[in-house]
Amino acid sequence: MKVLITGGAGFIGSNYVYIHLDARPEDELTVLDALTYSGHRENLAEAEARGVKFVEGRIEDRALVTALFEEGQFDWVVHFAAETHVDRSIKDPGLFVTTNVMGTQVLLDAARDFGVKRFHHVSTDEVYGDLGFGSTDQFTEESAIRPSSPYSATKAASDFLALSYFRTFGVPVTISRCSNNYGPFQSVENLIPVLIGRAARDEALPIYGTGQNVRDWLFVKDHCEAILAILERGTVGEIYNVGGNNEWANIDIAKLVLNLIDKPENLISFVEDRKGHDQRYAIDSSKLMRELGWSPRTSFEEGMRQTVEWYKIALYERSHTSRRNGLAPLPADQSHEQTSASHL
């Protein structure tokens, strides 16, 4: 099987590359990534040593994508590539439209023209909008689409575009919408890496508003196993929610990180709330569990332990490399929250 993975140098994408390599070592993998703020080729060092091909470029570059499909003759496309950060989308919505909507269209056109056997589009629970603080509901695949930010609006648009290519042109599309991911290789702009890095430096941990906003957290490797299950056994034209059934308020995440690395809670600092900040996300993954037999395997305690240990090593190595090579240190002033699944 020949597989194109877009955004495969990012957080979730790079984790998926390794999950796929281990599960299906006979497949030929190609990664297309623009290497923007959250994509790092070093994430793929081991994968390239194992034969993964890397191509640098943007998904909205039609000439590049067409040439890549013509050369690669891909059977599957796993589409992670997207601009993902809510705060960045508030500052520059146009970039999100270009990449997330127009870029997805370019890929879908190529998938149609070259007859791919499966096009899997990785989306986010943020397309559903949010649930109120007092709600006990969960999002299902039938929930209304009510995006709150330019980021989630462009992801919703790309979802609809993918589904339209299935109905109109017969492109064999599947879609997954996941809750907040955490784990190795995540961008240092996102909530958990920010908290770990700042706590390790005894710096204030910035938390939006009162910290009561709730997210459902999913270990990245469990998410990647769900995607592979959908590719192998999912039904074309279907949407599958992928969640951890693991809701935590942001303030409690901060306290957990501080506890794991033995730092005092007085490092927590509240900052001005994000515009249009969603209150609560909660995902119902029962369709995926029932139809494909998937369930998250990693407890939050174990996943967070692995994540903290990974970042402690990464921060140490980056600090020493920075001093040797004159590189900029890891960001120390970010207050952003992890928001989604892609670019991963």
- The catalytic position among 126, 130, 284, 337 is 126
159 is catalytic: no
Q: At a CB cut-off of 8 Å and minimum separation 6, what does 155 contact?
A: 82, 100, 123, 124, 126, 127, 147, 340, 342
C-alpha dihedral sign at 45, 80, 107, 90: negative
Size of the chain, expressed as the number of residues it contains:
344
125 is catalytic: yes
- The catalytic position among 125, 222, 278, 337 is 125
Residue (of 251, 140, 257) closest to 198 by Cα position? 257
Are 262 and 195 a contacting pair, CB within 8 Å? no
Q: How far apart are CA 211 and CA 227, in angstroms?
A: 31
Residue (of 181, 166, 208, 2) closest to 84 by Cα position? 181
Are 224 and 17 a contacting pair, CB within 8 Å? no
Are 29 and 93 a contacting pair, CB within 8 Å? no
- The catalytic position among 151, 165, 281, 311 is 151
Q: How far apart are CA 195 and CA 319, in angstroms?
A: 17
151 is catalytic: yes
Write out the catalytic residue numbers: 125-126, 151
